[in-house]
Amino acid sequence: MMNELTVAQRVAVWILPVIFAITVHEAAHGWVAKKYGDNTADAQGRLTVNPIKHIDWLGTVILPGLLLLTGTGFIFGWAKPVPVDARNFKKPIHDMAIVAIAGPISNVIMAIIWALIARLGMSIGASAEFISLPLIYSGVAGISINLVLALINLLPIPPLDGSRVLTAFLPHRLAWKYNQLERYGFIILLVLLYTKILNTLLAYPLFFAQNLFLSIAGMN
């Protein structure tokens, strides 16, 4: 449905869903880390949904913008990572896995919120399209970006959140070797994106999840 919009309209529709999907994801890591005893993010003023505190110009602005303008299939990005010091946790590996999974969970919660916003737009309908259409379009964009971020971050590629969860189940020596891949993680992700392998990996789970959330929005 986004194809009928001009470039300027697409940017207007996507800007808030993208920024908040990325920044709330990072803030969620910090909030949970504090609950488990690490105040590092709080001390640096990162326990906030204020996008200015989290924006990474490449990951939050430039890359999502290029993906939006070039129509590569889906949009994703990242914010400045919230600092977490696992040495402050009682069970560092276990607690780090909980902190990591908080990011994707926050995206699922936001996808629900955006689905309800789209549902509100659907209920208003043609009686006031100047209100209903922005709500519907933004709601669909919010569902899409949050589901994509949740699924991508669950991939077991260091330093993505999925790798932190997997680390908690690996023997210590194997976990150490596995996490050495972190220096290549960004390159691996770009290769997967460029070769369309990422699209193939995410196609079915994303299709299933989008249908579920569009049903919540009353659009399926």
Q: Could you list the active site residues?
A: 26
Instruction: Quote the CA–CA distance of 17 and 215 in Å, as a whole number.
Output: 19
Instruction: Quote the CA–CA distance of 10 and 3 in Å, as a whole number.
Output: 9
- Please give the angle made by the CA atoms of 77, 215 and 28, to the nearest 5 degrees: 35
Q: Are 84 and 28 in contact (CB under 8 A)?
A: no
Which amino acid is it at 115? A
Tell me the two tokens of residue 107: 């995206």
